[in-house]
Amino acid sequence: MTARYLEKAWGDSVENPTIKDVQIAISETIEMDDEHGAFWIGCGDEEETVLETHKDLSVIGIFAGPPEQQIKARFHNWMDIEEIYKVLLSGDFDQVKAILTTNS
């Protein structure tokens, strides 16, 4: 199984997060100030894929390379962000890229 972790800008972290952990991070992010209103999940052992979400509904995907690829997108609501995290947690990184590209 690929290593996964969830980090929150205010310092909390979760090992092997589930979609429930993502839902909690979203609700906490909504309540946070702009400086600390972000969280991210990293997936991978040697080459890591990271999906970082900010309070303003912007999402940055960082995909291991070579070359490393970074895709920035903005979503319309938190439900869409929750859905992309479901895809990320399933391990379908190509689909995550496709969703980000569609919303960039």
Residue 44 has what pLDDT?
A: 82
66 vs 40 pLDDT, higher one = 40
In tens, the pLDDT along 23-50 reads 999 999 999 887 779 999 999 877 789 9
pTM of the model: 0.91
pLDDT at site 11:
81
Is the backbone of residue 89 left (phi > 0), alpha (psi -120 to 50) or beta? alpha
**Residue 2 scores a pLDDT above 80:** no
Distance CA 35, CA 18 (A): 25
Q: Is 56 exposed, middle or buried (0-12, 13-18, 19+ CB in 10 A)?
A: exposed
Predicted local confidence at residue 61, as pLDDT: 97
Q: Does residue 65 or residue 9 have the better pLDDT?
A: 9
Q: Is the pLDDT of residue 65 over 90?
A: no
Question: In residues, how long is the chain?
Answer: 104
